[in-house]
Amino acid sequence: MNKPLIIAMDFKDKQSANAFLTSFGNEKLFLKVGMELFYREGPALVEEWKVAGHQLFLDLKLHDIPNTVKAAARQLASLQVDLMTVHASGGIKMMEAAREGLASGANNNSPDCIAVTQLTSTSEQMMKNELAIDKSLQDTVIHYADNAKQAGLQGVVCSAHEAPYIKQHVSSDFACVTPGIRLSNNSADDQKRVVTPGEASERGSDAIVVGRSITRADNPYQQYNEIKKQWRNET
């Protein structure tokens, strides 16, 4: 990966999403389609944006029994997206099943598959009190990342806080895709583990995912370029 800045296209429908994209002109982007937009618009919008030349991250966070995940991944592979997600808490067999499903459904290149370790909206306190996980957040994320590596996935979704530890304890070339990105004057909203684009870069993130800081900005294109500049250390 070459320091991608992935835009989280969390819009209610295709019309609002495409209205947002008009300010980017013909620029080719890396777009993340999540549950909100996919459940409304389905594969057609993904195909439309692929044809328009954008890279696509389909973030549906599959989490089910291995057989079901394998079959779902087989369907998603035919969409020829670049990246997709599963939840690491589904276990190694489920992640292996996702990889097998992608391989069997792809015409040529299968999409990269990465596993969500702990959502960036989760705090250490919440993990212990609500989720009843006794390990520290950092150790849990490293453990899940190690499972994802064993399952043959290409990387994980984590916060940039954990990225250096994953590089150190799992593998330096295991991809860390990090949401929870905010400029220093932005609200964290529902995110708990946030960093600035510059901090994500310093901590070794391979790609950042940014939604509301761009999509809700007064001038999304200007904000996108400001975040890109900080993320890529361009002065």
Ligand X SMILES: O=c1ccn([C@@H]2O[C@H](COP(=O)(O)O)[C@@H](O)[C@H]2O)c(=O)[nH]1
User: Is residue 193 a known part of a binding site?
Assistant: no
Site for ligand X in 114-143 (CB under 6 A): 116, 119-120
Positions in 191-230 near ligand X (CB under 6 A): 191, 209-213
Query: Which phi and psi (to 5°) does residue 134 adopt?
Result: -85, -30
Q: How far is CA 37 from CA 44, 72, 100, 105, in A?
A: 11, 18, 26, 23
Asked if residue 54 belongs to a known ligand binding site, the reply is no
Name the minimum Å distance from CB 32 to ligand X: 6
Q: Which is nearer to ligand X, 18 or 71 (CB)?
A: 18
Which CA distances in Å does 4 have to 63, 121, 125, 207? 26, 22, 31, 5
Residue 34 contacts ligand X per CB under 6 A: yes
Alpha carbons 223 and 51: distance in angstroms, whole number = 26
Of these residues, 64, 93, 128, 228, which one is catalytic?
A: 64
Do 102 and 113 contact (CB within 8 A), yes or no? yes
Question: Shortest approach of ligand X to residue 33 CB, angstroms?
Answer: 9
Would you call 146 a catalytic residue per the annotation?
Answer: no
User: Least distance from C-beta 45 to ligand X, angstroms?
Assistant: 15
CB of 164 to ligand X, least distance (A): 17
Does 112 count as an annotated binding residue?
Answer: no
Structure tokens given for 32: 């993340």
The answer to the question of whether 183 is labelled as a binding residue is no
Q: How far is the CB of 104 from ligand X (least distance, A)?
A: 26
Query: Is 179 assigned to a binding site?
Result: no
Q: Classify residue 3 by its DSSP letter.
A: -
Pick from 69, 157, 163, 208: which binds ligand X (CB under 6 A)? 157
Q: Which residues contact 96 (CB under 8 A, 6 or more apart)?
A: 66, 151, 152
Active site residue 64: yes
Which of 179, 195, 206, 231 binds ligand X (CB under 6 A)? It is: 179
* Footprint (CB under 6 A) of ligand X, residues 89-118: 116
Is there a binding annotation on residue 10?
Answer: yes
Residue found by looking up tokens 């969500």 in the block: 116
Nearest to 54 by CA among 114, 15, 10, 5: 5
Q: Would residue 139 show up in a list of annotated catalytic residues for this protein?
A: no
- Choose among 34, 105, 114, 116: nearest CA to 70: 105
In the complex, which residues of this chain contact ligand X (CB under 6 A)?
A: 8, 10, 34, 116, 119-120, 157, 179-180, 189, 191, 209-213
Residues belonging to the active site: 59, 61, 64
